[in-house]
């Protein structure tokens, strides 16, 4: 059992507040992704959990044990680093065996674990090599194998795929998901790549400015962003936002069209994902500006009420720059945000 509980953790570097009072619970065997742009504090949070950084305040609990005063080696964690950190003076075998030797395991057990994890990561034939003789992808595999061989309660991963090229990243992503699902460890995975986050996570914590904005399942984060930031950060192209004014109780005026929405304050922001729009009469009046055929779909960037507005439309549509379109939002996909707090309503 390795539930991770983070209570009121904050961290500042000098006058810079990197993390503001974070509370987060990660269930045993859960795959949690910390997602955010660079500088949002996600790596700092991971390093605090690992014990590589001391929090300015707050507590970290792993498996019912308070660990925030313990050194990394006593926390029952293993970590995969962004630059792999494969020891250059040791062979692949000795790299994977490194932590096992520190635990003073008997040699047969070390051999068994190294061979098992090497097989799992498909690097059996590389065990005698040095890191200088490995490609980036192979180094990545060694780093993961080294972490898995520890049979830790928790695996922490800091942007492990960000240094690989696009194709390799895709391949490793699928493989990591399979291997980690089989290992029954709790995983915390830091990335700035939303596709990676969506495809790997049981739950995503979206971070911004040293705070967790939303922690929920990938579909929930995508469909029901808790804040405007989540909607605009996740999804490519991002969510569209248009200011709306109250027409009547529960009726809202959006770019000349009346839509039903929540009862509430005088002003709200109307939001819709680009793929939740169809061309039909009676919709939002849009002037097409840029047409980008993407194969399966066509991305139309248009102008609605003087604002940039994107729609992902069926690729058999014929539209040219300057054309007038009427875009109808799917009613159940419309979201509303309070412009004051930027939170979902």
Partner 1 sequence: MTAITTETDVPRTVESARSAGKFLFIAAIVLICAWVLVPIYLLLVNTLSSPSEVSGFPKTGIPSFDFGSIQFFLSFAGVLKALWNSLLVAVLTMILSIGIGAPAGYALSRFEFPGKEIFRMLVIMTRAFPLPLLALPLAVFFIRTGLDDTALGLAIVHTVLAIPFAVLITFSLFSGIPIELEEAAWTLGCNRLQAFRKVVLPLVLPGIAASAVFAFTISWNEVFAAAVLTIENRTLPAFLVQSLNVSPLHLKFAGGAAMVIPALIFIFAVRKYLFAMWGIANR
Which of residues 92 and 242 has its CB atom nearest to partner 1 in the complex? 92
Give the nearest distance from C-beta 188 to partner 1 in angstroms.
Answer: 13
Least separation, in Å, of the C-beta of 94 and partner 1? 10
In the bound state with partner 1, the residue whose beta carbon lies nearer, of 74 and 303, is 74
CB of 219 vs partner 1, minimal distance in Å:
32
- What SS3 class is residue 228? helix
Report the residue number, 71 or 256, with the smaller CB distance to partner 1.
71
What string of H, E and C letters represents the secondary structure of 296-330? CEEEEEEEECCEEEEEEEECCCCCCCCCEEEEEEC
Q: CB under 8 Å to 198, separation ≥6 — which residues?
A: 204, 218, 222, 234
| 186: preceding bond cis by omega (within 30 degrees) | no
Identify which of residues 36 and 51 has a Cβ nearer to partner 1 in the complex.
51
Q: What gap in Å lies between CA 4 and CA 154, rounded to an integer?
A: 9
Q: Which is nearer to partner 1, 66 or 73 (CB)?
A: 73
Q: Per DSSP, what are the bridge partners of residue 248?
A: 251
Q: What is the dihedral of CA 16, 213, 328, 291, to 10 degrees?
A: 40
Cα separations in angstroms, 180 against 156, 190, 222, 312 = 11, 15, 23, 34
Question: CB of 102: closest distance to partner 1 in angstroms?
Answer: 3
- Identify the CA nearest to 110 among candidates 124, 92, 96, 120: 96
Least distance CB 89 / partner 1 (angstroms):
5
Tokens of 117: 């994890």
Cβ closest to partner 1, residue 26 vs residue 50:
50
DSSP-assigned states of every residue in 179-220:
HHHHHT-EEEEEES-HHHHHHH-SEEEEEETTEEEEEE-HHH
CB of 87 to partner 1, least distance (A): 6
Largest CA-CA distance found in the chain, in angstroms, rounded: 76
| 10 within 8 A of 21, measured Cβ to Cβ | yes
What's the rounded Cα separation, in Å, for the pair 140 and 308? 40
Q: Which of 258, 257, 255, 261 is nearest to 303 (CA)?
A: 255
Shortest Å distance, C-beta 334 to partner 1: 46
Strand partners for 312? 299
Which residue(s) pair with 4 in the sheet?
Answer: 26, 62
Residues within the interface to partner 1 (CB under 8 A): 50-52, 71-73, 77-79, 81-83, 85, 87-89, 98-99, 102-103, 146, 150, 156
Pick 38 or 249: Cβ nearer partner 1: 38
CB of 157 to partner 1, least distance (A): 12
In the complex, the smallest distance separating the C-beta of residue 37 from partner 1, rounded to whole angstroms, is 22
């Amino acid at each position: 059992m390795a539930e991770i509980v983070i209570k009121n953790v904050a961290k500042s570097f000098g006058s810079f507040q990197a993390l503001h009072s974070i509370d987060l619970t990660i269930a045993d065997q859960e795959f949690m992704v910390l997602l955010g742009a660079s500088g949002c504090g996600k790596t700092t949070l991971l390093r605090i959990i690992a014990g590589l950084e001391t929090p300015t305040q707050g507590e970290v609990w792993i498996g019912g044990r308070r660990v925030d005063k313990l050194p990394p080696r006593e926390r029952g964690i293993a970590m995969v680093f962004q630059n792999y950190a494969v020891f250059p003076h040791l062979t692949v075998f000795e790299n994977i065996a490194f932590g096992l030797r520190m635990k003073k395991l008997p040699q047969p057990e070390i051999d068994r674990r190294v061979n098992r994890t090497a097989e799992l990561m498909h690097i059996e034939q590389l065990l005698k090599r040095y890191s200088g003789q490995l490609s980036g992808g192979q180094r990545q595999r060694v780093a993961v194998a080294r972490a898995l061989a520890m049979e830790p309660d928790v695996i922490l991963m800091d942007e492990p795929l960000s240094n690989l090229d696009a194709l390799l990243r895709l391949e490793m992503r699928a493989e990591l998901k399979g291997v980690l699902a089989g290992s029954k460890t709790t995983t915390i995975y830091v990335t700035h790549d939303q596709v990676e986050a969506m495809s790997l996570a049981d739950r995503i914590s979206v971070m911004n400015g040293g705070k967790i904005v939303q922690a929920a399942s990938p579909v929930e984060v995508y469909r029901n962003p808790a804040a405007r930031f989540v909607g605009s950060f996740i999804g490519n192209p991002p969510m569209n936002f248009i200011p709306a004014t109250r027409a009547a109780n529960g009726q809202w005026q959006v770019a000349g069209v009346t839509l039903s929405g929540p009862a509430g304050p005088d002003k709200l922001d109307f939001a819709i994902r680009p793929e939740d729009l169809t061309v039909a009469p009676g919709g939002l009046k849009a002037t097409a500006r840029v047409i980008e055929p993407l194969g399966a779909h066509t991305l139309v960037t248009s102008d609605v009420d003087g604002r940039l507005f994107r729609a992902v439309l069926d690729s058999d549509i014929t539209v040219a720059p300057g054309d007038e379109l009427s875009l109808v939002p799917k009613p159940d996909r419309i979201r509303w945000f309070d412009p004051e707090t930027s939170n979902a309503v």
